[in-house]
Every structure is written in structure tokens, then in C-alpha cells.
Amino acid sequence: MVCSTAFVTLGRTQLEALGAPHTPIAVVPHPFGLRTRADIRAIAEQCVADIVRLATGGEDPTRRDRAASDDAPGARSIEVPADFEAFMALCEAQCWGDGLPLVPPTPERVQTMLRHTHRAAAQSLAQVAPGFGTASVEAVAINAVMAGCKPEYLPVLIAAVEAMTDRAFNLQAIQATTNPATPWLIVNGPIAQKLGINGGVGCMGQGTRANSTLGRALRLILQNIGGAHPGVMDRATQGQPAKHTFCCAENEAESPWAPLHTERGFDSERSTVTVIGAAGTTNLNSHAKDADDLLKAIAGSMAFPTSNDYHFGGAPWLAFSPEHAHILHAAGLDKAEVKRRLWEDSRLCAGRFAAKDYARLQHTRGAELRGIGSDTLVPASVHADEIGIVVAGGPGTHSVYVPTFGQTRAVTRPVDAT
């Protein structure tokens, strides 16, 4: 393996997780962006020499001895302090938490959680990148308890784990990137109302237990099962607040369009979870009452030259407020037409990219766009229908733009009936 100095810990930890702890690592200095071509050539020559040395038995300074684990499959019961502060200190020392208070996952609490699924506790749902730990139903339930979920939330969380580990979501990259990417959960169907998952006023903020704890539980799973601890395998330069929790329902009751899950092929009475690789949120505050005027303002807000969606041909999302959605619908625009208009009007002139990013754009999207010049108009996605649209929130002239990690696609999974 070859790693830059900033990613050696990630590389070594992932090799251990994959069962190859003694694989040597050739290390190159980080970053490359400010190096001259002569510097890069010297680094490359040294790297080749290091690969030869390591391949022929030379010492690997990154190697660390690790005792073999004889842990049996499944969760182990351990004694923890009864005092809450002592329990939290233990969790902090073991890197089991997210910096917020945790609920002790006692056997009784976990068993109560497991009664809300028909699946066996030992069933493996997936291997969670980048550490590739096994997300058993029991392990998911444990993290749900720690996050403060109600037991009846478990089926939603199981569906979310299955969605985010789908290959199209690209969890390996999202977990280990320097970008602030994080999963965004959107819940559709009857279960959203049954569990009280908020899709209305303040749905992306605080105040609703279901929204807050479901998003938080998924983060604990990404960390405790997937191994993405900040600074170790999670290499996000700054991260973002939504890495704590990002979950809402769609406001189907106030949407003038078909809801997301039926658009993606599910029956209207089926409950689903959609997982999106979100890079952040942008407030779209417009008092426009004319559909053309509104779309022009929103499209202009989508187009910024540091967006991964433009670099790679991504799949960005818009959460329209009911007010904005009804303005567009009243003008005779369905979701497909809104997507087409936004795709056309949000194209970004390639000359706006920084020089290094312009060169990267030529490499990543040159073939798709049949060559790129400074006047080329670059769309945020390869096709218009890759732009995602939901209706969420309450009264007000605010919609939300959610750019993505770029190299990720949303995945929807059905929620098991219990």
C-alpha cells in the first residue's frame, strides 16, 4: 500500500480490519498541491525505492504489533460503572461515543429493542466500511440504545444500514474522505407518521426525538462498527454538524407532487428510507412568486465552483418548502420539468474553476462533455433526472440545497413491517 503521511493511520487501521495487518506501507509526504514537478519526481523516485525495499523484507516503520483477538462472534457483556460520569469516562476512553451523553446498552434494553424486528439478532446486515466491521442486527440495536432511540425505531435503522452499505452509495469513500460528507436519511411512507418523524417545521433541526436519535444512531454505527473515528479513519478536514445527526421525513401531506418513495418505484403505502451522501446545506431564501423567477434564483445558488457535484457529475438534492413547491406546481411544472430546468440553468462556466480544479475537471468529465474549454457550461449532474427533489419543512419562503460528495448516489430501501 502507498499512503501519504496524513493517511498512514487510516491505511494501517484498514489493513488490520481487512485481516492483512503486516502489509507494508510506502509513505509519501502530504500534501502534493504546493510541490514543483521536480519535487514530485523526487518523491516518486523515493517511493519506488521504498516499495522495492519493503517488498524485499526491509523494515516498515508504520507496522504495529497487534495481539490476535479471540473474541467470539456477537456482543460481549462487560461490567461498567453504575455511576453515570464513570460510565461516560469509560465510553470516552474506548471511543464508543460521539461526545454527547450515551444511554448504557444493558442486556434488558437491547432485548427490548430486538423485539421490534423479526430478524435474528445474529443476522449480518452488512460489512461497514472502512473498518469492515459486521453490522449484525444485535450490534445495530446496541448502537440504537446508546443513541437514545425508542425500540420501535429499529426497523428504520436496519433499512438505513442496508441502504448506506449498497455499493452505489460509496460508503468507503464517504467514511474516509477529507470532505465533510455524511449520510442524510429521508423517511417516507406510513412509518414516518407512526413514529413521529418530523418532515415539517424545523425538520432538519433539533426538537424531535425520532429525527435526532435515528441520525445519531447511524453515526454511532458508522463509528463503532465501521471504525470511522475522527482523525483515524474519518479524515474529514473540518467535518460538519450534520455528522452528529441528519434525518427527517418528507412532508408528503403538503407536497403537490408524488413523494420520493413512489418516484423511486415503491408503493405509496410502503415505508422506505433513502440515504444521501450530503456535503452540507444551503438556505435558499427567495420571496419570488413567479416560477421562472424562482427557478432562476435557485439554479444560480446551486452553481459554485468548489462543489464536488460539478467536479465529478454528482447527484445534488433540493428540499423545497411547501410554499416554493406550490408556486412551481401552480405553473404546471412537475418534478421532472423542475429537474430539467434546474439542470439547464445551473450549468457552471468552466472558466470559474481554479486552475488546479479546471485541470482536474478536464480529467474527470472531459470525455462526458466532449472536451472542456474555459467557456464550457458544466452541469452539476450527468443527467437531469439525477437531481433529487423532496418537499420538507413548514411555512416560509425557504428551501434547502444539499450538494453531495459527488461520487455517491442515493439509495432507497424498504422498512420491514413489524
The fraction of the chain above a pLDDT of 70, given in percent, is 98
Burial class (CB in 10 A: 0-12, 13-18, 19+), 357: middle
Buried b vs exposed e over 295-311: b needs ≥16 C-beta within 10 Å?
Answer: bbbbbebbbbbebbbbb
Alpha helix stretches (DSSP H) within 56-170: 84-94, 107-114, 137-147, 154-164
**Kind and range of the H or E run holding 136:** strand 133-136
- When pLDDT is cut at 50, 70 and 90, the band that residue 229 belongs to is very high
Specify the pTM.
Answer: 0.91
| Strand (E) or helix (H) holding 216 | helix 209-224
Element (H, E) at 263: helix 260-263
Alpha carbon distance, N-terminus to C-terminus of the chain: 45
Written as nine digits, the cell of 182 is 455524511
Average pLDDT estimate for 114-123:
97
Can you read off the three cell numbers belonging to residue 388? 433529487
Q: For all residues of the chain together, what is the average pLDDT? A: 94
Burial per residue of 362-379, b for 16 or more beta-carbon CB atoms within 10 angstroms, e otherwise: bebbeeebeebeeebebb
Residue environment code for 219-256, b if the CB has 16+ CB neighbours within 10 A, otherwise e:
bbbbbbbbbbbeebbbbbeebbebbebbbbbbbbebbb
Q: What is the mean pLDDT of residues 361-381?
A: 96
Rama region for 10: left / alpha / beta (φ>0; ψ in -120 to 50; rest):
alpha
Mean pLDDT of 45-53: 94
Q: What is the pLDDT of residue 32?
A: 77
Does the pLDDT of residue 69 top 60, yes or no?
no
Average pLDDT over residues 112-120: 97
Contact 185, 409 (CB under 8 A): no
> In the chain, where are the structural domains located?
2-55, 84-263, 281-402
pLDDT of residue 332 exceeding 80: yes
| Sign, Cα dihedral of 360, 304, 315, 125 | positive
